[in-house]
C-alpha cells in the first residue's frame, strides 16, 4: 500500500519550468520549441510551455497504452487509495496552487482558493468512493450505475446474466482555460478511477497548474504511464491526440467551434466522445420573484470569474413591471461591490481576462453593441482608486497593473434579440439585460439560441416555476438560484452546448465499457 | 338484470384454500350486511384455527415445493398477474355492484377503485421479471467475487381492513405475488364478498398453482391465529393502532421471528394559506375529509386555515359540505355513503358528542344521522377547534372534520404537527414556492399533497411515520419489501 508523501512545489512562478510529463518523467518537447505564456494581470511573460507535436503525443499514448493492463487490473481499492492521496496533496497545497492559478489565468486568488482548488480534491475523493462502494444512489436519480461491480439477473432455469462496466483503455482529455486545474481534475478523477490511463492536453493558455499537478501525481504514487500530460496547441498537439489510433475515448471541454472539429474527428474514428461546449445562458426574472435575491445572484452570475464561465448568466430577461427597478438595483450593487483589479487582493471581485486576444474579442462585442445603438454602461465604482482609466470600449487601466487585460463590468440594454451580442458567447464580464411581457414571450426569448447549457427561472409562484422550467431547452435549469451544485447530477448541454452528460454516475458511464456475461 | 347477490359465480358459504372451494372446519358463520339499509345480504363462514392452519400449510407447500417459485420464471408470474388483471376487468361490473352493496360506497367511487385495482395488478406484474441483484467483481477486493440474489420472503399473511376491500387487496396481493410469495389473505369481517370473488377469478385463470393464494374469513380470532402461525414469514396489516401493536407484539413472540408491515391510521392535517383559491380548496378539503364517509386512513381530518382568510373560507366550506349528495349508493349521483357498520356508526356519533360537549367545539354543519336508515351520518364540520381537542387528535374514522383555531405563521403549524401522534399524510393549499418547499421538507408525513388531496399513484410509496405505522405499500419500495437478498461470496483463487 502506497504511503502518501508530501510534495515540494516551486516557490514562485520564476521557478516553474514546464515540461511534458510522459511515462513518469519530465521531458522536453521533441521539437525543442516552446510557446509563450503571460500573466494576464501584468501582461508579463511567465513560464513558457512545450510546443508539442505528433512525436510527443505518440510517446505519451504509447506510455498510456503500456500502463493500461497493470492499472485496469489493479484492485479498485488500491486505485482509490492513490486517488485519496492525490486529493490530500491538492488540499495541502491549496494556497500555492491558488496563487499559481491566479497568476496564470487572471482569476482572483480568493476564488481559486475557495472554489477551484478544493473542488479538484473533491473530485478525486468522490470517485475514490465510487470505486470502493460500487454503487451510489442519488437523491433524485433512479439510476444505479456500478463501476467495477455490475448488475446480476437471474433468468429462467439456471442461467445468470451479469452486466459489467469495465475500463475502456487510453483516454484523451482536452481541457479549457477558464478553470484550468478544476477542468483537468474533473475529467482525470473519473477517468483513472475506473481503470483507464490517459493523455491530458491542457489548453496552451493556462498550463501552469496542470504542470504542478504532475508533481502531485508523481508524489501520490500514480504509476508511470497512467497519466501523461502533454502541453501544446490544439492544432499541433490536440489534433494528433484525438486522431491517435490507440486513443479509445475523448473528453473535451472548450468552445463550440473547436468542439465541432473534435467531435467530427473522434466520431469518424468510432471513438466515444464527450463534448462540453459553450453557452449563452438565459434567465427569466418574473415580477413576482424575490427581487433582492434575484439581483444579488445575477450580479454574481454575470461577473464571477470574469464572466469566463460556460454557465455565465449572460442574457437576463426581466419582466417589464420590475425591469427598471431590477436595473437600478443591479447597477447599484455592481458599483458598490464589484471591484476589478489585482487578483491577489482579497477585496477584488474579479481579475483580468485570460489573454490579450481574448480581451480583444470581448471588447469587440462591446464595440459592436455600441455600433448597433445599444446602451452600454461600464459599472465602475467612481471611488475605486485603483481604476485609473476606462476606455471607450470598456478596457480598464489599473494602477500598478497597467499591462493587464482588465475589462469593466459591462451592462448592455436596448440590444436586439437577433444581435450577435445577444446570440454569441462573449465569455467575458458583459451582460445583456432585456425586458419581456408575457410568460410565453419569456420562454420564447430564452429558447431563442443555438445553445442550451444552463438557465434560471425566478418566481415565487410554484406552479409557474415548474411550468416554465419544464419548457426551457437547457441541460440544467435552476429555480430561484444560479449554479446551486450537486456533483451527482448530470451536467451537460443541448444544441451547440454539447453532446453528453458528465458528473457522478454519468461520468462512470462515459468512461467505462459495458459488457454482458 | 337481477342483483349480483342472486348470481354469484361462487358459493359464498365455502372458503378458497389450496386451489379448492371447501367447507370450513368451523360451524360459526358471520352475517354480511348492506350498510345502506342494515339488511343482511349474505352469510359466510367464520373460520377457526384449523382452517387457518390448512391455509398456511397450503401456502407453505406451494412456496417450498410447488412450481410457483421453484419452476416458474418471473415472466410466467408476470403473465399470470396480467391474466388476472384482465379477468378482473372483464367482471368489473359485477365486482363493482357487489362492492357497493357490501360497503355502501357510491358506485362512482367503486368504479375508480376498480380502475386502481386493475392498474395495480398490471403495474406490479411489470416488476415480476425484473428482479435484479448486484455483482461485485473480484477486482474490487482481491480474489473475492460476490453477488446478491433476491429471493421472495416466503409465505405472507395479510389482514385487511374493511374500508377498501378489493382495492387494498390489490395493494397487498399484487406485489407479493409478483415477488414470488404465496399468500393467506383475511379480509375485514364486514367485507368478505369481493375478496371471494377475486379468489374465484384467480382460480379461473388457471395460472396460479394450488396454494399460491388462499382466503380465510373471520375476525379477531382467526386474525390472531394467522399472526401466531410459525410458518408465516411476513405479516401485512392494515387496521387500528391498537390491533397493529398487538400484531407487532405477536410477531416477536412466536418461535420464528418474522417481518411485519403495518398501516395504522392517521389524523392528517391540511393547511390553507392566504393565497389559496378558496372555492377550489373548500371542495378539495371536503372531498379530502368526507371521501368514503371519512373511513380513510389518510383522510384530511384537521384543518389549519390562515387567520386572514378564515372568515371568507368558512361559508365556502359549509356550502361544499352541505352540497354532498347522500343517497342510494348504486345511484351515480351519490357522493358519500354510510358508515360500514353499527360499531363505526356509534363510535362516530360518540365523537360528535365529545366534540360538542367535551371539546366545546362549534358546529359548522352536520352532526346528525342521515337518511333515517342504515348507518348514515351527515358530513360534519366543527370549527374553532383547539389543536389538542380530542376530536382534533384522535382518529374518528368517519365524516367529521375539525377546523382548528386560525393560525398566523406556517412555522407554528409545522411545530405543532411535529407532536401529531400520526404521520400518514398532509396537504397544503398555496402557490407560494417557499411555503411549499418548507412544508414538504419539514413535515414528517409519508405523503404530502400539494393543491390536491387523496390522489394516489401506483409509482410512489405510501405509508406513515410514528403511529401511522412502518413499511410501505405501492411503488417499487413495496415490491422490494417482499424480497430478501442473499449474498454469495466466492474465492476465485481457490
Cβ contact B133–A76 (<8 Å): no
DSSP state of A235: I
pLDDT of residue A445: 97
pLDDT of residue A291: 97
Q: Give the mean pLDDT of B336-340.
A: 98
The question of whether A276 is a catalytic residue gets the answer: yes
Q: Give the mean pLDDT of B274-297.
A: 97
Cell numbers standing for residue A226 = 497512467
Q: Is A194 on the interface with B (CB under 8 A)?
A: no
| Calpha distance B279→B429 (Å, rounded) | 12
Q: CB–CB of A405/A448 below 8 Å?
A: no
pLDDT of residue A137: 37
Chain B positions contacting chain A at CB under 8 Å are 73, 75, 131-137, 139-142, 147-149, 430-434, 436, 450-451
Cβ contact A152–B134 (<8 Å): yes
pLDDT of residue A133: 65
Q: CB–CB of A170/A248 below 8 Å?
A: yes
Do you know the residue count of chain B? 494
Torsion sign across C-alpha atoms A93, A96, A100, A105: positive
* Planar angle of CA B65, B66, B72, nearest 5 degrees: 125
- Nearest chain A residue to B145 by CA: give it: A149
Q: Which of residues 121-180 of A touch B (CB under 8 A)?
A: 131-132, 134-135, 146, 148-156, 160, 162-164
pLDDT tens track for B204-261: 999 999 999 999 999 999 999 999 999 999 999 999 999 999 999 888 877 777 889 9
B445-476 b/e (C-beta count within 10 Å ≥ 16 → b): bbbbbbbebbebebeebbbbbbbbbbbbbbbb
Could you give the 3-state DSSP secondary structure of residue A91? helix
pLDDT of residue B43: 97
Cβ contact A146–B134 (<8 Å): yes
Cβ contact B141–A75 (<8 Å): yes
Full-prediction pTM beyond 0.80?
Answer: yes
Cβ-based neighbour number of residue B108 at 10 Å: 16
Residue B398, CA atoms < 13 Å, CB-side half-sphere: 31
pLDDT of residue A163: 78
Give the nearest partner residue to B137 out of A77, A149, A461, using CB atoms.
A149
Q: Are strands A410-413 and B422-423 parallel, antiparallel or unpaired?
A: unpaired
| Calpha distance B114→B166 (Å, rounded) | 8
Do you know the residue count of chain A? 517
Angle between helices A462-471 and B433-442 (to 10 degrees): 100
pLDDT of residue A146: 30
Q: Is A2 on the interface with B (CB under 8 A)?
A: no
Q: CB–CB of B334/B324 below 8 Å?
A: no
* Planar angle of CA B112, B118, B120, nearest 5 degrees: 100
Cβ contact B433–A155 (<8 Å): no
Best to test chain A binding among B70, B128, B139 (most A CBs inside 10 Å): B139
Where residue B418 falls among pLDDT bands split at 50, 70, 90? very high
pLDDT of residue A148: 38
| Calpha distance B33→B343 (Å, rounded) | 13
| Calpha distance B52→B157 (Å, rounded) | 10
Single out the residue of B413, B398, B393 nearest to residue B467, CA to CA: B393
| Calpha distance B229→A487 (Å, rounded) | 49
DSSP state of A3: P
Could you give the 3-state DSSP secondary structure of residue A290? coil
| Alpha-carbon torsion, ordered A212, A217, A218, A220, to 10 deg | 130
Give the nearest partner residue to A480 out of B137, B433, B451, using CB atoms.
B433
pLDDT of residue B478 exceeding 90:
yes
Average pLDDT per 10 consecutive residues for chain A, totaling 517 residues: 75 96 98 97 96 98 97 89 96 97 97 96 91 49 34 57 84 97 97 96 97 98 98 96 96 92 90 92 96 96 95 96 98 94 95 97 98 97 89 96 97 97 96 98 96 94 94 93 80 85 86 83
Share of chain B above pLDDT 90, in %: 89
Q: CB–CB of B400/B267 below 8 Å?
A: no
* Mean pLDDT of chain B, nearest integer: 95
Where residue B99 falls among pLDDT bands split at 50, 70, 90? very high
Q: What is the 3-state secondary structure (H, E, C) of A141-191?
A: CCCCCECCEEEEEECCCCCEEEEEEEECCEEEEEECCCCHHHHHHHHHHHH
Which helix (H) or strand (E) segment holds residue A435: the answer is strand A430-436
Quick check: ipTM above 0.95? Answer: no
Amino acid at each position: 500500500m502506497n504511503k502518501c508523501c508530501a510534495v515540494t512545489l516551486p516557490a514562485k512562478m520564476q521557478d516553474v519550468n514546464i515540461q511534458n510529463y510522459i511515462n513518469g518523467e519530465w521531458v522536453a518537447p521533441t521539437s525543442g520549441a516552446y510557446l509563450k505564456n503571460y500573466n494576464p494581470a501584468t501582461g508579463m511573460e511567465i513560464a513558457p510551455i512545450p510546443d508539442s507535436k505528433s512525436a510527443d503525443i505518440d510517446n505519451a499514448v504509447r506510455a498510456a497504452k503500456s500502463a493500461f493492463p497493470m492499472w485496469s487490473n489493479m484492485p479498485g481499492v488500491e486505485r482509490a487509495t492513490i486517488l485519496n492521496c492525490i486529493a490530500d496533496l491538492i488540499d495541502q497545497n491549496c494556497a500555492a496552487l491558488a496563487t499559481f492559478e491566479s497568476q496564470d489565468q487572471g482569476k482572483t486568488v480568493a476564488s481559486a482558493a475557495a472554489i477551484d482548488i478544493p473542488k479538484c480534491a473533491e473530485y478525486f475523493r468522490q470517485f475514490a468512493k465510487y470505486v470502493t462502494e460500487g454503487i451510489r444512489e442519488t437523491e433524485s436519480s433512479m439510476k444505479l450505475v456500478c463501476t467495477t461491480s455490475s448488475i446480476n439477473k437471474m433468468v429462467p432455469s439456471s442461467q445468470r446474466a451479469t452486466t459489467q462496466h469495465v475500463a475502456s483503455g487510453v483516454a484523451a482529455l482536452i481541457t479549457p482555460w477558464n478553470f484550468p486545474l478544476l477542468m483537468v481534475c474533473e475529467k482525470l478523477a473519473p477517468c483513472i478511477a475506473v481503470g483507464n490511463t490517459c493523455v491530458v492536453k491542457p489548453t496552451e493558455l493556462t498550463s501552469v497548474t496542470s504542470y504542478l499537478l504532475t508533481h502531485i501525481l508523481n508524489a501520490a504514487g500514480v504509476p508511470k504511464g497512467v497519466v501523461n500530460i502533454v502541453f501544446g496547441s490544439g492544432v499541433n498537439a490536440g489534433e494528433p491526440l484525438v486522431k491517435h489510433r490507440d486513443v479509445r475515448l475523448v473528453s473535451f471541454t472548450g468552445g463550440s467551434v473547436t468542439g465541432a472539429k473534435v467531435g467530427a474527428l473522434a466520431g469518424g474514428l468510432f471513438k466515444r466522445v464527450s463534448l462540453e461546449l459553450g453557452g449563452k445562458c438565459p434567465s427569466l426574472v418574473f415580477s413576482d420573484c424575490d427581487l433582492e435575491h434575484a439581483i444579488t445572484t445575477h450580479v454574481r452570475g454575470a461577473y464571477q470569474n470574469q464572466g469566463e464561465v460556460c454557465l455565465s448568466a449572460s442574457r437576463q430577461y426581466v419582466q417589464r413591471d420590475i425591469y427598471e427597478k431590477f436595473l437600478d438595483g443591479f447597477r447599484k450593487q455592481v458599483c458598490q461591490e464589484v471591484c476589478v483589479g489585482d487578483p491577489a487582493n482579497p477585496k477584488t471581485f474579479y481579475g483580468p481576462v485570460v489573454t490579450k486576444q481574448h480581451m480583444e474579442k470581448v471588447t469587440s462585442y462591446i464595440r459592436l453593441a455600441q455600433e448597433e445603438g445599444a446602451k452600454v454602461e461600464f459599472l465602475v465604482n467612481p471611488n475605486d482608486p485603483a481604476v485609473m482609466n476606462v476606455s471607450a470600449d470598456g478596457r480598464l487601466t489599473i494602477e500598478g497593473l497597467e499591462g493587464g487585460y482588465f475589462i469593466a463590468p459591462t451592462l448592455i440594454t436596448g440590444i436586439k434579440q437577433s444581435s450577435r451580442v445577444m446570440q454569441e458567447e462573449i465569455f467575458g464580464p458583459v451582460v445583456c439585460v432585456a425586458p419581456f411581457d408575457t410568460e410565453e414571450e419569456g420562454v420564447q426569448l430564452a429558447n431563442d439560441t443555438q445553445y442550451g447549457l444552463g438557465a434560471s427561472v425566478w418566481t415565487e409562484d410554484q406552479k409557474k416555476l415548474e411550468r416554465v422550467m419544464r419548457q426551457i431547452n437547457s441541460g440544467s435549469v435552476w429555480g430561484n438560484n444560479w449554479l446551486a451544485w450537486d456533483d451527482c447530477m448530470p451536467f451537460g448541454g443541448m444544441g451547440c452546448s454539447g453532446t453528453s452528460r458528465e458528473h457522478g454516475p454519468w461520468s462512470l458511464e462515459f468512461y467505462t465499457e459495458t459488457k454482458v456475461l | 338484470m337481477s342483483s349480483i347477490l342472486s348470481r354469484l359465480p361462487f358459493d359464498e358459504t365455502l372458503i378458497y384454500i389450496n386451489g379448492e372451494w371447501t367447507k370450513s372446519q368451523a360451524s360459526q358463520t358471520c352475517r354480511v350486511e348492506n350498510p345502506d339499509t342494515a339488511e343482511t345480504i349474505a352469510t359466510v363462514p367464520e373460520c377457526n384455527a384449523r382452517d387457518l392452519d390448512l391455509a398456511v400449510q397450503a401456502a407453505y407447500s406451494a412456496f417450498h415445493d410447488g412450481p410457483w417459485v421453484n419452476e416458474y420464471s418471473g415472466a410466467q408470474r408476470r403473465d399470470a398477474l396480467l391474466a388476472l388483471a384482465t379477468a378482473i376487468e372483464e367482471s368489473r361490473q359485477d365486482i363493482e355492484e357487489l362492492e357497493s352493496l357490501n360497503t355502501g360506497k357510491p358506485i362512482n367511487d367503486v368504479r375508480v377503485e376498480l380502475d386502481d385495482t386493475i392498474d395495480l395488478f398490471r403495474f406490479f406484474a411489470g416488476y415480476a421479471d425484473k428482479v435484479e441483484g448486484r455483482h461485485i467483481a473480484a477486482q474490487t477486493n482481491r480474489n473475492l467475487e460476490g453477488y446478491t440474489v433476491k429471493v421472495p420472503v416466503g409465505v405472507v399473511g395479510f389482514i385487511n381492513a374493511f374500508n377498501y376491500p378489493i382495492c387494498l387487496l390489490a395493494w397487498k396481493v399484487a406485489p407479493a405475488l409478483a415477488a414470488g410469495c404465496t399468500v393467506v389473505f383475511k379480509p375485514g369481517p364486514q367485507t368478505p364478498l369481493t375478496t371471494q370473488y377475486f379468489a374465484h377469478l384467480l382460480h379461473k385463470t388457471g395460472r396460479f398453482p394450488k396454494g399460491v393464494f388462499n382466503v380465510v374469513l373471520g375476525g379477531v380470532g382467526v386474525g390472531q391465529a394467522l399472526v401466531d402461525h410459525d410458518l408465516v414469514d411476513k405479516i401485512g396489516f392494515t387496521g387500528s393502532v391498537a390491533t397493529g401493536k398487538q400484531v407487532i407484539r405477536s410477531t416477536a413472540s412466536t418461535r420464528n421471528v418474522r417481518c411485519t408491515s403495518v398501516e395504522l391510521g392517521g389524523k392528517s392535517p391540511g393547511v390553507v394559506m392566504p393565497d389559496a383559491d378558496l372555492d377550489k380548496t373548500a371542495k378539495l378539503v371536503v372531498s379530502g375529509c368526507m371521501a368514503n364517509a371519512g373511513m380513510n386512513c389518510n383522510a384530511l381530518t384537521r384543518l389549519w386555515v390562515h387567520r386572514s382568510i378564515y372568515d371568507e373560507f368558512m361559508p365556502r366550506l359549509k356550502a361544499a359540505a352541505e352540497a354532498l349528495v347522500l343517497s342510494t349508493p348504486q345511484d351515480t349521483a351519490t357522493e358519500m355513503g354510510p358508515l360500514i357498520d353499527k360499531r363505526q356508526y356509534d363510535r362516530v356519533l360518540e365523537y360528535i358528542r365529545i366534540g360538542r360537549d367535551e371539546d366545546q367545539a362549534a358546529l359548522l354543519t352536520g352532526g346528525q344521522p342521515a337518511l333515517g336508515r342504515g348507518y348514515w351520518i351527515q358530513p360534519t364540520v366543527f370549527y374553532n377547534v383547539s389543536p389538542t381537542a380530542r376530536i382534533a387528535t384522535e382518529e374518528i374514522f368517519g365524516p367529521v372534520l375539525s377546523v382548528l383555531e386560525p393560525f398566523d405563521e406556517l412555522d407554528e403549524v409545522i411545530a405543532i404537527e411535529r407532536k401529531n401522534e400520526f404521520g400518514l399524510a398532509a396537504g397544503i393549499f398555496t402557490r407560494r414556492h417557499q411555503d411549499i418547499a418548507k412544508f414538504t421538507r419539514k413535515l414528517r408525513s409519508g405523503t404530502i399533497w400539494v393543491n390536491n388531496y387523496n390522489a394516489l399513484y401506483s409509482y410512489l410509496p405510501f405509508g406513515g411515520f410514528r403511529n401511522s405505522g412502518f413499511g410501505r405499500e405501492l411503488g417499487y419500495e413495496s415490491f422490494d419489501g417482499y424480497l430478501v437478498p442473499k449474498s454469495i461470496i466466492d474465492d476465485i483463487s481457490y
